[in-house]
Structure formats: structure tokens, C-alpha cells
Chain A
Amino acid sequence: MATAAQRAARTRADGPADETGFAAAYETAFDAAVAADERIEPRDWMPEAYRATLVRQIAQHAHSEIIGMQPEANWITRAPSLRRKAILMAKVQDEAGHGLYLYSAAETLGTSRDELLDKLHSGRQKYSSIFNYPTLTWADVGAIGWLVDGAAITNQVPLCRCSYGPYARAMVRICKEESFHQRQGYELLLALSRGTPEQHAMAQDAVDRWWWPSLMMFGPPDDESQHSAQSMEWKIKRHSNDELRQRFVDICVPQAESLGLTLPDPELVWNEERGHHDFGEIDWTEFREVLKGNGPCNEQRITQRRRAHEEGAWVRDAAAAYARKHTAEEHGKAAA
């Protein structure tokens, strides 16, 4: 559905006879709609660069959900109680569902899921760097829930107000489920932290390994973030990487305390003047290496994803062949 401002602009755009006139009028309408906090919808005119940025961002988000199933699925068969196993399976299932929502949202921009998966498999599109870290113990499942989902929520809640309607609506549904997962992860860690000394140590070790990679989820520092300024202007993004990272740190510190766990940063301290926690420097070399494909699990994650896709090709072919045959049959019956 066109926004009010755009409909008005289109009416005006009927006037000028030349293409430039149309484009200029549409662009003005688009800018006005964004400025008025209206939602851009699939059939509305949008700048090509806006479309491309959204495809890149939504696809990367969808890929992250799909690759993100792997580190957690790694523990489904070893979950230590039936209750935890059920929670974990439901969570991994939700992630597949989130991937589906997000691929659908991306498709409204004129691409297809097949095309996007192809780009993932060939390395032309990325997924979140966090999923290149391994889940080495059961406690990692809790740390992922608490920290990784926590960071994702901090990033994603503002996306519920993103200027592109289909993405914003997908985020509303996804954020509800994510915050549920985050509470479950926290509760898992709490059970370990209050459990036997071995369980407590397992929880602390997991938090030690996941803390810094979680902070990296907010992306490069503001002065190095190439897409930020434009995305904020278009209201795809509402806050800078560093703002969101700070918000996340401030949320986590008291939560870690109530968990009875420490965060692995000797420089982490409350700054009365700023009203925020100061924290240590992120290892940006590691961040860049992981993004380049040199993290601990990059190779493993993409290989498994490709293998699932390739080994499933005959199943997808069968479904397509069956559909062709039986659609033809239905047509035959209708004609007869």
C-alpha cells in the first residue's frame, strides 16, 4: 500500500512528461514519507540503494538465523534433561521459522530465497560473526541465550520501528520469541550457577568465552561503520553501533551479578559521570579475522549448510516433479 505522501506525489508525478521529473517527484515523496515516520511498503517507489541495503541487511539477518541453528543444535542430542531438551528443540525450531519470515520479507524487495541461499553458500553474503564460535559445553547453550540473544534483542527492538514495513513487522514477531529465548538462557545459567561447583565453573567458563564475541555483534565502532550514516538517515537503523553496545553492557552488568557470575573484563567499571559502564577495548583484529572467514567455525558452519542443501537437492527435485505431474493431472481433469 502506498503511503499518503507517496500517493500525493504520484498524483503530482503524473504531471511532468519526462522520466527525470517522475524520479525527482518519487524521491521527494519517499524522503517525505521517511521523514514523517511512515512505512515504506513493497509496491512503493524506493531508491535503488535503499532497496539494496535492505536486501543485504535482511538477507544477512535471515542467514544468521539459519546458520545460528547449528551451534545450538549441536547440543540437542546431549541436553541433560528432557525439559531442557524440549526447550532447546523449540528454540532451534523458532530460529528456522525466523529465517523463513526474514526470507519472505527480503522477497518483497524483488529477490528470491533461492538466490539468497545461493549467495550465502557461495560466501557472497554474510551471517553474524557470532555463530563462528563453537559450543563446547552445555553451559554455552545458556550463554548464547542470555548474551547472544540479549545482544540480538538490543539490536532488533529498534528495528521494529524500521522504515521498511515488512521488515519492521517481521521484527515485532521475532523479538517476542527472542526475548523468551533470552529468559530461558538466563534461567539455564542460573540453574548451573546455583548448582554443583562443576556446574558453576561450566557456566563461568561459557560466559568468559561468549562475552567479547557478543559485544562484537554490534558491529565495528561508529567511526568505522560504512553503512551506518545512510541507514540512520533512511531510518533503517535508529541507533549507532556504539550506542547499542553501551546499552547492552549496562543491561548485562547487573544481570551477571544476580547470576553470581563475573564478566571477563578487568576494565569494566561504573562511570558516575557518564552514567554508564566503562569497558575494555574489543579485540578488533579478532573481529576482522572472523568476518574474513578465519574464525574457529567459519569453514565448518558453511560446509554443513552447503551439505544440507546439496544432499537435499533430490528431495526438492522430487517435490517439484510431483507438483508438475499432479498440477498437469488436475488441468487434464478440468479440461476433460
Chain B
Amino acid sequence: MTVTVDAAALALGDDALVLSHRLGEWAGHAPVLEEEVALANIALDLLGQARVLLSMAGDEDELAYLREERAFRNLQLVEQPNGDFAHTIARQLYFSTYQRLLYAHLASGDGRFAGLAAKAVKEVAYHQDHAEQWTLRLGDGTDISHERMRTACRALWRYTGEMFEPVEGLDVDWEGLRSAWLESVSAVLLRATLDVPEGPPSGAWSAGAGRQGVHTEPFGLMLAEMQHLHRSHPGASW
């Protein structure tokens, strides 16, 4: 397959591809029918973004189906298993806030991602709103939902530091992005009667690892499932 060095398109494209896949796993399992629609809708938006971004770096299907784990550049956050609904929502809150701030920035410039970002930022604003509304409902709902949401926010916190590691090819004030993100997420967590998890927002060893192709164990299994059929029929078209 084509060797590609388009780090920025791969990083953004892989984030969207992998998170879309995880959300697709919810189909038929959501807590309420409206969430079947909402989660699938978000997954589709992300898949649409992934296809544009991966096509900027090469052939979308080759890149999605024929790269191995070490060649993927997505954040470790987006590859985390769905867990319960609270884990999925916490992952959505962290990532959609990041993606909205990043895309708003990219859309305002004239770089190569400006066009995509301008379109995607509208979708991402919806994703963020969805995640925030559910964070409020779960955090400030029942004792059980509060506890589950608190657990989820803490469990995923260690994967958030990586979002602010510079990506080659993206002209972004990463420290500024980090403080804007922290401000936005903290405000939602506090309104949801949750505390902002303590400690550095990155597990020491994992900062930047996904962007370097070092992933967590569940990711390999996810790829095995995603790529199996495509790899079983080399060269076939679908």
C-alpha cells in the first residue's frame, strides 16, 4: 500500500474513523430509541469526516482496512471501549469539546483543512451539545447515574492530555487549546454537580502515544473486527 506521511490528515481522520466505529457498536443496544438515532447520527457525521480526511492522505479504504495497529494515529481516547452509557458520554464530552475548538480554529484560517473544518464544526457543535446535555442529566440525575458519570469522567481523564500534543502540519496554539478545553469541560462538569478530576490531565506514559502509533490493548481487537472481511478478500471491490 501507499506509504503516506500526511500526519495531520491521518491524525484527524483516524480520530473520526475510530470514534465512529465505537459509536457504531451501540446500534441496537442504546438505552432509549432516541439514542439509537442520536448515536448513529454522530457516528455517521464522524465517518463522513473520516472519509474526507483519509482521502486527503490516500485511498480511504486502504488506509482504514490495510494499516496495522502501529500505523494508526488516532488518540487513545477515541479507541477506548464504550463501557456503559456514562463512559460513552464522558468520551463524547471530552472529544467533541476538543474537536469543536480545534475545528473552529482550523475553519477560521486558510489552511488545507479550513473547508472541511467549516462544514464539520456545525456537526461537532451538535455532538458537543448532545454530550453536554447527557453529562448534566447523568451527573445531576439520580445517585446511581451521578456515581457512574463520576467514575467514567475519572477513568477517561488520563487520556485527555494527549489531545494537546502538537500534530505535525497543524498550526495550532496547543496550550491555548488546552486551557479553552479545560475551561469548557470544567464548566459542564461543575453544572452537572461533578468534580473536575484531579491530577495532570495525562497519564505520564501515555501522553502523545496514540499519535505515535502506540495504542491500548482493546484497539487491536477493534481493528481485527473492522478489517477482517476486507482483508479476507484481497483486491476485491465492494
Q: Mark B65-76, 1 if CB is under 8 A from A, else 0.
A: 100000000000
Q: Is the CB of A191 within 8 A of B237?
A: yes
User: How far, in angstroms, from A80 to B33 measured CA to CA in the complex?
Assistant: 27
What is the chain A residue whose CB lies nearest that of B24? A76
Stretch at the interface among A46-54, A88-96, A276-284, A288-296: A88-96
Nearest-neighbour CB distance to chain B for A293, whole angstroms, equals 20
Residues of B within 8 A of A78 (CB): 225-226, 228-229
Q: Is A82 an interface residue (CB 8 A)?
A: yes
> Whole-angstrom distance between the alpha carbons of A82 and B137 in the complex?
33
Known contacts A93-B37, A314-B145: A80-B64 contact under CB 8 Å:
no
B174 within 8 A of A: no
Return chain A residues, CB-CB under 8 Å to B142. 314, 317-318, 321
Give Cα A313 to B144, complex, Å: 11
B138 in contact with A318 (CB, 8 Å) = yes
Number of interface residues of A (CB under 8 A): 49
The smallest beta-carbon distance between A154 and chain B, in angstroms, is 26
Query: Shortest Cβ distance from A34 into chain B, in angstroms?
Result: 32
- Closest Cβ neighbor of B85 among chain A residues: A315
A residues within 8 A CB of B166?
none
Instruction: Among A69, A70, A89, point to the contact of B43 (Cβ < 8 A).
Output: A89
Q: What residues on B are CB-neighbors of A84 within 8 Å?
A: 238
Tell whether, in the assembled complex, residue A93 and residue B230 are in contact, meaning their CB atoms are under 8 Å apart: no
Q: A305-334: contact bitstring with B at CB < 8 Å (1 yes, 0 no)?
A: 001110111111111111001000000000
Kindly identify which residue among A81, A86, A100, A308 contacts B29, using a CB–CB cutoff of 8 Å. A308
Contact of B36 with A by CB under 8 A: yes
Q: Are A93 and B44 in contact (CB under 8 A)?
A: yes
Verify if A99 is at the interface (C-beta below 8 Å from B).
yes
With contacts A96-B37, A317-B142, A318-B145 taken as known, whether A195 is within 8 angstroms of B27 at the C-beta atoms is no
Is residue B154 within 8 Å, beta carbon to beta carbon, of the partner chain?
no
The residue in chain B whose Cβ has the minimal distance to the Cβ of A113 is B33
Asked if A319 meets B40 with Cβ closer than 8 Å, knowing A78-B226, A196-B233, the reply is: no
Decide if B31 is an interface residue (CB 8 Å cutoff): yes
Most chain A CB inside 10 Å of its own CB: which residue of B25, B64, B138, B141: B141
List, in ascending order, chain A residues with CB within 8 A of B21's CB: 77
- Decide: B47 and A82 in contact? CB cutoff 8 A: yes
Question: Closest approach, in angstroms, between the C-beta of A260 and any C-beta of chain B?
Answer: 16
Q: Is B238's CB under 8 angstroms from A80's CB?
A: yes
Q: Does A73 count as interface, using CB distance less than 8 angstroms?
A: yes
A74 to chain B, nearest CB (A): 8
* CB of B49, distance to nearest CB on chain A (Å): 11
A191 to B32, CA, bound (A): 35
Distance in angstroms from A309 CB to nearest chain B CB is 8
- Beta-carbon contact of B30 and A312 below 8 Å: yes
**A/B interface sample: 17 pairs, CB < 8 A:** A77-B25, A77-B226, A80-B230, A81-B238, A82-B51, A89-B24, A89-B40, A92-B28, A92-B40, A138-B229, A308-B29, A309-B31, A312-B30, A313-B31, A316-B32, A322-B137, A322-B140
Residues of B within 8 A of A (CB): 17, 21, 24-25, 27-37, 40-41, 43-44, 47-48, 50-51, 54, 60-61, 64-65, 84-85, 136-138, 140-142, 144-145, 148, 225-226, 228-230, 233, 235-238
| Known contacts A89-B24, A318-B137; 9 further A-B pairs (Cβ under 8 A) | A82-B61, A83-B238, A85-B24, A86-B47, A93-B44, A188-B238, A311-B31, A312-B30, A314-B148
